[in-house]
Amino acid sequence: MHCPFCRSTDTRVLDSRVAEDGSAIRRRRTCPSCEKRFTTVEQMQLTVLKRSGTSEPFNREKAISGVRKALKGRPVSEDDLARLGQTVEDALRSGGWAEVPAHEVGLAILSPLRALDEVAYLRFASVYRGFESADDFETEIAMLRAERATPQPTG
C-alpha cells in the first residue's frame, strides 16, 4: 500500500475493522516515512460471468443502463434509479457469489423495478424474458394484478 502523502510503500496497519454490513474491511494505517495516518477500505470485488464465458467486474451503471431504457418517458427520477442500482448490487453481494452469472443480475433487477414502475418492469421483462406475443404480456399483467389484489401483510 502506497502512502497517499509521500508515496512510500512501507506502511503499517494500526487497526482493522469489518464494516457494518460485513462487505468491507476498514484499515487504519500509518506511514513511518512521513508519520501521517490514513484509512483504506478493502471491498469484495463482485464479478459478472457473462454468457460468452468471460467475466468482468460488476458495474452498477452498466446494470441499470437497460433499466434506464425501460424507464424512458416514465416519471422516475435519477435518484430513484440510483437507489434501484444500489438495491440490485446489495442483493447480488448478499447472495455470496464469487462470480455472479449475468442472468442473476437481470433477475435481481426485476423485483425492485416492479416496485418502482410497473410499466418499465413490463418493458424490461419483455426483453429480458423474451416475450414473443401479446399473450406473454397478458399473462404478466394478470400476475401483476393478482399480486396487487392480494392484501400484503403489514408488520
User: Which pLDDT belongs to residue 85?
Assistant: 92
Give 2: exposed, middle or buried? Use CB within 10 Å, 0-12, 13-18, 19+. Answer: exposed
Cβ within 8 Å of residue 89, ≥6 positions away = 46, 58, 60, 63
pLDDT greater than 80 at residue 66:
yes
**DSSP secondary structure code for residue 29 in this structure:** E
User: Which pLDDT belongs to residue 134?
Assistant: 92
What is the pLDDT averaged over residues 44-62?
89
pTM of the model: 0.68
C-alpha separations of 11 from 4, 15, 17, 43, 46 in Å: 10, 12, 17, 19, 27
> Residue 117 and residue 131: Cα distance in Å, rounded?
19
> Residue 47 and residue 62: Cα distance in Å, rounded?
13
Question: Per residue in 75-122, pLDDT tens?
Answer: 999 999 999 999 998 888 888 777 899 889 988 999 999 999 999 999
Question: Per residue in 118-150, pLDDT tens?
Answer: 999 999 999 888 889 999 999 999 998 888 887
What is the pLDDT averaged over residues 23-33?
91
pLDDT greater than 90 at residue 42:
no
φ, ψ at 54 (rounded to 5°): -80, 160
